[in-house]
Structure 1
Amino acid sequence: MYAAAASLNEINVTKEQLSWFAGVLNVHEAPITGFWLMYAAVVVMCIIVYNLGFARRLPLLKNAVVYTVMLIGTFPLTIFAFGMPVVESLLAAAAVLGIYKIRLRRYKKEKQENATTS
């Protein structure tokens, strides 16, 4: 375990090779802490995108399975997030899905008001 941590600290990565968010987290200076912070960011953004765009009402056990698989599946995304803009893409997806949800809610509200006034 200590050998792996030592080898992670010896990785020579320039700031230009990192994604913007990885550069903000100073991953090149503290790779282990940076990895876990990046993992937390990817998990949070995946959960937000899932809830905004794809979530359905599920029973508790099925919901637990979905989130467990999501936690496992974000490990490869976290590794990709160091060199590619994964977190930034998830932020853009969350913004688009959030705007869509707001507009959909307004449309349904206006449609309901028009139905009650007619």
Structure 2
Amino acid sequence: MTLGFYLLYAIIVVLCIVVYRLGFAKKLPVLKNAIVYAVLVIGCFPLTFFGIGLPVAEGLVASAVVLIIYKVRLHQSKNKEA
């Protein structure tokens, strides 16, 4: 059971980082960036408890897919204009 919890925690952390980078990240200094990621990693711990009974990881996957599609379409439209 412990291995499953840590694996779910790692998956949620990776997916949260991907969603943050795709949707919300801005250029920050290194220290502020480290603080943001540290808080994100700590904040994923309660999400893991919710993820045991609720589809947290699946929701993060859906968010990542939507943001990837958005970024690809945005990139295509910018290339079309140029």
TM-score scaled by length of structure 2: 0.98
Match of 2:33 among 53, 56, 63: 63
Which structure has more helix as a fraction of its residues?
2
1:116 match: none
Q: What letter is aligned with 1:34?
A: G
Two-structure CA RMSD over aligned residues (Å): 0.5
Question: C-alpha separation between the residues in 2 aligned to 1:109 and 1:65?
Answer: 34
Match of 2:64 among 94, 98, 102: 94
Unaligned runs of 5+ in 2: none
Report the alpha carbon displacement of residue 63 of structure 1 after superposing the two structures with TM: 0.4
Q: Determine if the alignment matches structure 1 residue 52 to structure 2 residue 22.
A: yes
SS in structure 2 of the partner of residue 57 of structure 1: coil
TM-score scaled by length of structure 1: 0.68
The higher radius of gyration belongs to 1
* Structure 1 runs of 4+ with >3 Å offset: none
Unaligned runs of 5+ in 1: 1-30, 113-118
